[in-house]
Amino acid sequence: MTILLEGLQLIPASLSIPQIVIDETVNKYKERVIALNETLRHANRDKQCLFGTPQHINELDVDSIVGDYRELLIGRLSHYATDIMEYPKLSVQSVVERELRGGKPFKKSGAGFRDYIIWATVRQVASATSPGYVCFVSANHSDFGKAPDVFPELRSDLQSYARLKYYNSLKDLNKELILPKIHLFTDLDSQIPPDVKIDKNRIVRWIQEHFVDLIREYDFGREIFNFSRGDVTPRRIEELKSVKLKTARRLSNDIVLVDLTLEANLIYNTSASWEDFTADPTLREFFGGDSEQFAYTDMEVDELTTACVRLTYNEHSQEIESTELLQFSAASATLDYS
């Protein structure tokens, strides 16, 4: 779990946990505390039998201990901006109908209510309009399916099954999505000269939060695809493939110039009016030459992008004070600003 929590910003991704999973986790903890209390009661009786006089080991305050555990659990998850999903709004009739016909994740015996609440929450997240895909992790392959595919009936519940990535363990998810990113930034750490003090996490945060903003500032969208009309806007990083330190040279006691080369798949939004479409043959070919007249159209595309950026880094404050783009390459364009 630690690898997952620490690696979320490297994907980048956010973590959502159904409220029912929190409640189940806390309840299992409560059962263990109650069992421990029962052990203490037996110990008190055994001590009295052995020593012949009343012996007492203080029992645990179950409600207080469990309350503290819930608070600690939610506090730790909140530190990583975890979204604890409320119970989904379901009609009792729809749940009963699914249970009666033995629809997954219900078993023939009728068991599976809590599993269905979890799945309904996953379906709710997967149906949201936010970009990207949804990762669902469950070791319960007998009710949800053996990864990478959920059962066909569950698949049919989703508006877009392509948005779902399913794993039977956190280990599998970490191996595919997080460990490669950790190694990527570990390599960056090893490239920083020993006489320069740079917080790698500051660099990571800037890439995830501001790299795309920097590209937007240069407003060269149409040049990327060789359009003369329409608009092209970088939206987000779909996948960061490599980060390499080219140079890190000191300008003064505290200021260091850091040149990085980044390779990433970026999502670009391309848009055009009918006038743009008819006037630009490259744009027309991009969207498809045969089309009925429209007022406006747009499309998202994934493009491999390479950029060299320069960061002015303050060692004292550990802040990035300024940034500039030195070189940029994507699709049919290579632009040099150095």
Is position 183 within any domain? no
Whether 77 contacts 19, CB under 8 Å: no
Through-space distance between the first and last CA atoms of the chain, rounded to whole angstroms: 43
**How large is the average pLDDT for residues 80-91?**
91
Instruction: State whether 134 and 200 are in the same domain.
Output: no
The rounded percent of the chain whose pLDDT value lies above 90 is: 49
Same domain, 66 and 166: yes
Q: What is the pLDDT of residue 291?
A: 67
**What is the count of structural domains for the chain?**
2
**Alpha helices of the chain — where are they, by DSSP H?**
2-7, 19-51, 62-79, 92-100, 113-126, 141-144, 152-156, 170-173, 179-191, 200-218, 221-225, 274-279, 281-287
Q: How many residues does the chain have?
A: 338
Residues 166 and 293 in one domain: no
- 52, pLDDT greater than 80: no
Assess whether 246 and 304 both reside in one domain: yes
What is the structure's pLDDT at 238? 84
pLDDT higher than threshold 70 for residue 189: yes
Task: Answer yes or no: is 289 within a domain.
Answer: yes
The answer to whether 202 touches 173, Cβ cutoff 8 Å, is no
Greatest mean pLDDT among 57-66, 139-148, 156-165: 139-148
Q: Is residue 27 part of a domain?
A: yes
- HSE, side-chain direction, 13 A CA sphere, residue 89: 0
Per-residue pLDDT of 173-186, as tens digits, reads: 998 888 887 777 77
pLDDT band at 289 (very low <50, low <70, confident <90, very high): low
256: its two tokens: 């260091």
Whether 186 maps to a domain, the answer reads no
Check whether residue 148 and residue 209 sit in a common domain: no
* Chain mean pLDDT for the chain: 88
Is residue 191 predicted with pLDDT exceeding 90? no
Place of tokens 């490239």: 191
SS3 content of the chain, % helix, strand, coil (to 5): 45, 25, 30
Tokens 């795309």, residue? 212
Contacts of 293 (CB under 8 A, 6+ apart): 274
Average pLDDT over residues 223-232: 89
Contacts of 136 (CB under 8 A, 6+ apart): 122, 144, 150, 164, 165, 166, 167
Say whether the peptide bond before residue 281 is cis (omega within 30 degrees of 0). no
pLDDT value of residue 22: 96
Decide if 187 is inside a domain: no
Q: Looking at residue 54, what is its pLDDT?
A: 64
Per-residue pLDDT tens digits for 66-79: 999 999 999 999 88
The helix (run of H) or strand (run of E) holding residue 249 is strand 231-250
152 with 228, same domain: the answer is no
- Regarding whether 104 and 18 lie in a shared domain, the answer is yes
Burial class (CB in 10 A: 0-12, 13-18, 19+), 303: middle
Average of per-residue pLDDT across 290-299: 82
**Residue at which a domain ends, from 172, 205, 230:** 172
Model-level pTM? 0.67
Residue 332 lies in a domain: yes
Instruction: With beta carbons less than 8 A apart as the criterion, state whether 75 and 104 touch.
Output: no
